[in-house]
Chain A
Amino acid sequence: MTITEPTIEGPKTEGPLELESGREAIAERPLGVLTRPQGGRGWRDWLSTVDHKKIGIMYGVSAMVFFVVGGIEALLIRLQLAVPNGGVLSADVYNQVFTMHGVTMVFLFIMPLAAAFANYLIPLQIGARDVAFPRLNALSYWVWLSGAIFLNSSWIVGGGGADCGWFCYSPNSGVTFSPSHGVDFYAIGLLIAGIASLVSAINLIVTCLNMRAPGMDLFRMPVMTWMLLITQFLLLFALPVITVALFLLMFDRLFDASFFNPDMGADPLLWQHLFWIFGHPEVYIIILPAFGVVSEVIPTFSRKPIFGYTFMVFSGIAIGFMGWGVWAHHMFVSGIGPISVAAFSLSTMFIAVPTGVKVLNWLATMWGGQIRFTTAMLFAVGTVAMFTIGGLSGVTHALAPADTQQTDTYYIVAHFHYVIFGGGVLGLMGGLYYWWPKIFGFMLNERRGKVNFWLMLIGFNLTFGPMHILGLQGMSRRIDTYSSGFGFEFWNMVATIGSFIIAVSVLVLFHNIWKSKREAADLPPPGPDPWDARSLEWMVPSPVPEHNFDEVPTVESLDEWWHRKYSFDDNGKVVQIATAEEAAQDGSAKGVHLPAPSFWPLVLAVGLPLIGYGLIFNLWLCVPGGLLVGMGIFAWALEPVDDPDATHDHDGHDDDDDDHDDDGPDDAELAAAPAAPGDSTAGAPAAPGDKQGGE
C-alpha cells in the first residue's frame, strides 16, 4: 500500500527506465489514449487491477455468489422432490434447473473458488511478487466472469436455461429436443469460460515453473502449490477437448452442421467421448485443490510435517496421468463394447491406488501429532472422511456389472456429491477458514465456525447419504417427480430436510464473516502467522502488502517458514529459535516496482459475450463484439509497458546464469530498475549501478 500516494516529483523525461511504478504519467502515448490507469481508489482500482491477490479475491467473491445461485437451484430441486407428485416445478423447468445447478456448481462455483486460491496462494507460496503475466491474469478473471454472466443470462433472454443435463448428451442437446436457446448459451458460455481457464492455466504453470524464489526447488514447493500446478496441467490438456466438443455442438445448433445428429448419420458417442475425455480429468481439477488445502491444514494443526511429502507429490502426479485413461467408465452402458468396458473398468480400479495413498498419508500425518481441532482442521478431517466414502462408492461402479444397475440412479448422485461436495467443497471451506486471516487481516470466529462445520457436515450426510438407498431402490436421477408407493417418500423427505440444513450452514458462514469483521476492531490483529504454520505466505503481514515480500526470501528447505521458527537441539527435540513476529517481514518495503494496472483485459472480456449473443441472435452483433476484442488486443499490445525490464533480452541472460539455477543477484536484467530519481524511497541507498552491469 505504500505506493498509492501519488508522487509529485518532476517530469519523467528520461524514458521508461526512469519510471518507478504504474502510477506515473507515461511519456509515450501510442494512439494518444493509451496511458496505463493510475490505479486509484475504490471500484476503479478493482476494475483495472492486475494484482494477483485482488484477482484472487474477486474470483472468490464471484464464486460465492454463484454458490448461492447454484444452491437456490439445488433447494428448488429438493423442494420439488420432497413429496411425491411435487408441484413446485414443471418437468420442463425441472430439467433446466438441475442442468443449470450442475453447470453452475462445477464451472461457476468450485472451479473459480479453486482459481481464487490458486491466484492468491501460488505466488506467495513460491516466494514471488506476482504471477508471470499479471495482465493475462486479470483477463482470465474478466473473461470467466463474462462467460458466467452470459451463461446465466439465458434465463432471461434465451427462453430458459439449458435443459440437457450438465453433460448435455446428444441427441437431447440438438434443436429437435431442446428448441430453446438454453443449450446455445451452454455451449458458448462454457467456451468463453474455457478460454479464461486456459489462459489462467498457462499463466499459473509459467509462474510455478519460472517465478520461484531462490532456492525454492520444485520439491520444496508446498503440497498445495503442487496440487494446484497439477490441476493447471489437467486444465491445459482437458480444455481443448471440450472446446472442440462445444464448437461442434454450436455448429450443429446454429449453423446446421451434422456432428452429433444421428438422423444425419452422425455418431452420438462422439460427444460422449469428447465430453468425458475432458470430464473425468475435470473431476480431479475439482478435487486436487481441496487435497492441497488438506495437505496444508493437517500438518499445521498436527504440528508435524506432512507424512511422505514425495509420495504425496508423486501420487498427485500419478492421478494427473491416470486421470486420462478412465473416461469411458462414464459410458459403460452406452454400447462401447465388452473389451473397452473391461479395460476401462480395470484402469478405473487402479486409479483408486494413488488416491488411497493420499488418504493414508494424511492419517499418518495426524498420527501422534499434537492435534488442534480448529474449524479449518475439522473441515480438513471432514474432507478426508467424506471423500473416502465417495471414493469407495466410486469403486463399486468401477465394476461394470454393478454400474449397469447403478448408472442414472440416485446412487450416482450420492456418489458424486460425496466426492465433489464432501471432498471438494468441504476442503475449500477449510481453506477459507485457514487463509482468511492472511487474506483479510482478521480471524473468523472459531465458535461460529464450528457451528458452520457441524451443520454443513450433518446436513450434507442427511442430504446425500439417503440418496444411496434411493438409488439402490431404483429411483432415477433427473426425474422431475415420482408417485407414492415405491418406498421413496421417507428418504426423499430426509434429503430435503438435509439440504435446508446445508443452506443454514452457508448462512452461518456469511453471518460469521460479517460478525467477525465487526468484532475484529476490538480484537488483537492476527499477526503474520496465527496458526503457527509452515509455508512462506505466513512470513508476510496479514493482510498481505501489495508487494508481497519486502525482500524475496532465499529458501533452504521444505517447510521453509517453519524452519525459520524452529530448530532441533542436540537430542533431536524441537526448539523454537524465533517467534513468528521476529522471523516475519514487516511489509515496510517502499518503492517496490509493481506491474501497472490496465483496463484492456476488461474491454476484451466485454467483447466476447457480445460475439456470443451475435452468434445466437443476430450476426451483426458480432461486429461490435469483435471490434472490442480486437481493440482490446491491440491496445494491450501497444500499451506502454512501464516495466523498466520489459525490453530485457533473454539471450544475453542465459550466459551469465549458468552456474546458479535460480539465484537472484546474477540476473542483471531485472535488476536494472533502480529507483527513479525522486522516488519515495530516495532516502535509502538505492544503489544505482549496483547490479545492472550485465545488460
Chain B
Amino acid sequence: MTTETSAPATSDADTTVAAPATPGDSNAPGEDTAHGPSTGISNTKLAMWLFLGSECLLFGGLISTYLLYKTRRGPDNLAIPTDVFDIPFTSISSFVLLMSSLTMVLALAALTRGDNHGARVWLLATSMLGGVFIGGQVYEFTSFLREGVGFTNNPASSAFYALTGFHGVHVSLGIVMLMSLFVASWQGKLRQEHSETVEVVGLYWHFVDVVWIFIFTVIYLVPA
C-alpha cells in the first residue's frame, strides 16, 4: 500500500480514450471517455479501506494468540511480560500516539484549506509523535529484556513481542509514509489537489491508532 500512497500523484488511474470519434460517427463525441469510479469513492481510498479490512484480521489473529498464551510460562517457569509491565509509562506513550491522530486530522484540514505550510508542520508533528511512540516501545522492549523477559522465554512472551512488534512495524511504516509526504510538500509537490493522498495515509494512521487502543486494553488493562 505504501507504494500507492506514499507520495502524491502516484495512482495508476483509469485509462482514457483520446478521441477516436470520426465525423459522422453515430456516437456522441466523448461518449466513450472513461468515467469516474462507479461507487463515488476513489480507487485509492477504496483500496485503503479494503486493505484495512484485511489488516483487522491480521491483528485479530495476533490478539487471539496473545489472549490464548498470556499466562503461559513454559516448562521452566520463566518470566512473562505481565510480571514487568510499567503501565504508567505505556499509558503515556499510548496517549502520545492518540494525540498524533489529532495532528493528522489537522494536517489534512490544513492541506484542504490550501495551507501548505500548516500541512507541513502538522505532518511533521504527526511523524514526530509517532516517533516518540516507537522510541517508547524500543525503551520498553530493552528494559523488559534486561528484566529477563526474552522473546524465546515462553509462549506468553513470544506472543507479546509478536503482537506489539507487528504494531510497531505498522507505526514505523506509517512514519515513513508521513515523512515522504512531508518531503514532497517541502519540494512543493504536495498541494491542495493532492489532499486525498494525505487523507488515505491518514486513514492508515488512524487505523494503526485504533488498533493500538485495542492492543493496549487487551495487554495492559484486562487483568490476567
Q: How far is the CA of A666 from the CA of B38 in the complex (A)?
A: 12
Given the known inter-chain contacts A274-B61, A645-B14, please indicate yes or no for A686 contacting B34, CB distance below 8 A: no
A600 to chain B, nearest CB (A): 8
Q: Which of B10-38 contact A (CB under 8 A)?
A: 10-23, 27-38
Q: Is the CB of A671 within 8 A of B21?
A: no
A685 touches B4 (CB 8 A): no
Inter-chain CA distance A209–B40, complex, in Å, is 10
Q: Name the interface residues of B111-139: CB closer than 8 Å to any CB of A.
A: 112
Chain A residues near B3: list those with CB within 8 A.
Answer: 136, 139, 604, 632-633, 636-637
- Please tell me which stretch of B46-54, B86-94, B140-148, B204-212 contacts chain A, meaning at least 4 of its Cβ atoms lie within 8 angstroms of it: B46-54
Check: A27 CB closer than 8 A to any chain B CB: no
Segment at the interface with B among A83-91, A249-257, A421-429:
A249-257
- Chain A binder among B70-78, B97-105, B215-223: B70-78
Contacts of A286 in B (CB 8 A): none
**Alpha-carbon separation in the docked complex, A563 to B15 (Å):** 27
Pick the residue among A214, A264, A679, A687 that contacts B35 (CB under 8 A). Answer: A214
| A240–B46 touching, CB < 8 Å | no
* Count of chain A to chain B residue pairs whose CB atoms are closer than 8 Å in the complex: 282
Known contacts A550-B32, A674-B19, A687-B30; is A133 also within 8 Å of B151 by CB?
Answer: no
Render A199-236 as a binary contact track against B, CB cut-off 8 A, 1 for contact: 00111011001111110100000000000000000001
Q: How far is the CB of B47 from chain A (nearest CB, A)?
A: 5
For window 42-69 of B, CB contacts with A under 8 Å fall at 42-43, 45-47, 50-51, 53-58, 60-62, 65, 68-69
* In contact, B33 and A664 (Cβ under 8 angstroms): yes
**Are B74 and A265 touching (Cβ within 8 A)?**
yes
Interface size counted on chain A using CB atoms at 8 A = 104
Q: Which residue of B lies closest to A672 (CB)?
A: B16
- What chain A residues lie within 8 Å of B27 (beta carbons)? 551
Which of B18, B20, B38, B43 contacts A133, CB < 8 Å?
Answer: B43
Provided the pairs A133-B12, A665-B31, A670-B36 are in contact, do residues A265 and B72 lie with their beta carbons within 8 angstroms? yes
Residues of B close to A206: CB separation below 8 A? 43, 46-47, 50
- The answer to the question of B203 belonging to the interface, with a C-beta cut-off of 8 Å to chain A, is no
Q: In the complex, A647→B4 CA distance in Å? A: 13
Whether A684 is near chain B, meaning CB under 8 Å from some CB there, is yes
Choose among B10, B17, B62 the residue that contacts A641 (Cβ–Cβ < 8 A).
Answer: B10
- Interchain CB contact (< 8 A) of B20 among A236, A644, A670, A684: A684
In the bound complex, CA of A671 to CA of B75 (Å):
67
Of all chain A residues, the one with the shortest Cβ separation from B38 is A662
Instruction: Determine how close the nearest CB of chain A comes to the CB of B139; give it in whole angstroms.
Output: 22
Say whether B20 contacts A129, CB under 8 Å: no
Contact B38 A210 (CB under 8 A): yes
Please give the distance in Å from B68's CB to the nearest CB on chain A. Answer: 6
Closest CB in chain B relative to A301 CB, distance in Å: 31
Nearest-neighbour CB distance to chain B for A201, whole angstroms, equals 8
Does residue B198 face the partner (Cβ distance < 8 Å to A)? no
> Is A315 close to B, CB under 8 A?
no
- Quick one: which of B170-206 are within 8 Å of A by CB? 180, 193-196
Contacts of B33 in A (CB 8 A): 552, 664-665, 667, 670-671, 691
Task: Write the nearest CB–CB distance from B29 to chain A, whole angstroms.
Answer: 5
Contact between A251 and B162, CB atoms less than 8 A apart: yes
**Would you call the interface of chain B mostly helix, strand, loop, or mixed?**
loop
Contacts of B45 in A (CB 8 A): 650
**A502 interfacial contact with B, CB 8 Å:** no
- Please determine whether B18 and A237 come into contact, CB atoms closer than 8 angstroms: no
Q: Is the CB of B155 within 8 A of A259?
A: yes
Partner of B180, one of A201, A202, A241, A637: A637
Option from A136, A646, A661, A679 in Cβ contact (under 8 Å) with B18? A679
Min CB distance A537 to B, Å, is: 17
Residue pair A210, B31 in contact (C-beta under 8 Å): no
A236 touches B47 (CB 8 A): no
Among B31, B46, B154, point to the contact of A264 (Cβ < 8 A).
B154
Chain B residues, Cβ within 8 Å of A457: none
| Contacting pair B55 A240 (CB below 8 A) | yes
Q: Among B46, B151, B195, which residue has its beta carbon within 8 angstroms of that of A210?
A: B46
Do residues B18 and A132 form an inter-chain contact, with CB atoms below 8 A? no
Q: Does A303 contact B (CB under 8 A)?
A: no
With CB as the reference atom, state the residue of chain B lying closest to A686: B19
> Which one, B53, B162, B196, contacts A649 given CB within 8 A?
B196
Contact B17 A592 (CB under 8 A): yes
Report A-chain residues with C-beta under 8 Å of the C-beta of B20.
Answer: 550-551, 588-592, 681, 684
Q: CB of A5 within 8 A of chain B?
A: no
A209–B39 contact, CB under 8 A? Answer: yes
Contact between B36 and A209 (Cβ–Cβ < 8 Å)?
no
Q: A213: nearest residue on chain B (CB-CB)?
A: B35
The smallest beta-carbon distance between A586 and chain B, in angstroms, is: 11
CB B119 to nearest CB in A, in angstroms, measures: 15
Chain B residues within 8 Å of A679, by CB: 18
CA distance A456 to B34 in the complex (A): 44
Beyond A203-B47, A593-B17, A670-B35, is A665–B75 a contact (Cβ under 8 Å)? no
A645 vs B18: C-alpha distance when bound (angstroms)? 12
**When chains A and B are docked, how far (Å) is the Cα of A241 from the Cα of B65?**
11
Which chain A positions have C-beta within 8 A of B180? Answer: 637
Query: Once the chains are docked, how many angstroms separate the CA of A684 from the CA of B20?
Result: 6
Chain B residues near A267 (CB-CB < 8 A): 68-69, 155
* Residue B159 lies at the interface, judged by CB distance under 8 Å to chain A: yes
Q: Which of A572-617 contact B (CB under 8 A)?
A: 588-595, 604
Q: Is the CB–CB distance between B6 and A633 below 8 Å?
A: yes
Q: How far is the CA of A684 from the CA of B17 in the complex (A)?
A: 12
With A643-B13, A664-B32 in contact, is A592–B18 under 8 Å at CB? yes
The answer to whether B46 touches A209, judged by C-beta atoms less than 8 angstroms apart, is: yes
Partner of A671, one of B34, B38, B62: B34
Cα–Cα distance between A588 and B58 once the two chains are bound (Å): 47
Give min CB distance, A5 to chain B, whole Å. Answer: 15
Cβ of A265: which chain B residues have Cβ within 8 Å of it? 72-75, 154-155
Which residues A245-297 have CB closer than 8 A to chain B?
Answer: 245, 247-248, 251, 255-259, 263-267, 270, 274
Contact present for B22 and A684 (CB under 8 Å)? yes
Decide: A202 and B32 in contact? CB cutoff 8 A: no
Closest B residue by C-beta to A232: B50
Q: Which residue of B lies closest to A238 (CB)?
A: B57
- The residues of B with any CB-CB pair to A shorter than 8 Å are 2-4, 6-23, 27-43, 45-47, 50-51, 53-58, 60-62, 65, 68-69, 72-75, 112, 151-155, 158-159, 162, 180, 193-196
> Other than the known A213-B35, A241-B57, what 20 A-B pairs have Cβ atoms closer than 8 Å?
A136-B4, A209-B46, A211-B37, A241-B61, A251-B158, A257-B152, A258-B158, A259-B162, A267-B155, A274-B61, A552-B17, A591-B20, A647-B8, A650-B42, A650-B196, A657-B40, A662-B35, A667-B36, A676-B18, A691-B33
Q: Can you list 9 A-B pairs with a CB-CB distance of less than 8 A?
A: A132-B47, A210-B43, A244-B62, A258-B152, A647-B9, A649-B196, A650-B196, A653-B36, A665-B33
Chain A to chain B: the 8 pairs with minimum beta-carbon distance, closest first = A551-B32, A244-B61, A664-B35, A240-B58, A675-B18, A210-B37, A257-B158, A686-B19
A residues adjacent to B (C-beta < 8 A): 20, 50, 128-130, 132-136, 139, 198, 201-203, 205-206, 209-214, 216, 236-237, 239-241, 243-245, 247-248, 251, 255-259, 263-267, 270, 274, 547, 549-552, 554, 588-595, 604, 632-634, 636-639, 641, 643-651, 653-654, 657, 661-667, 669-671, 673-676, 679, 681, 684-687, 690-691
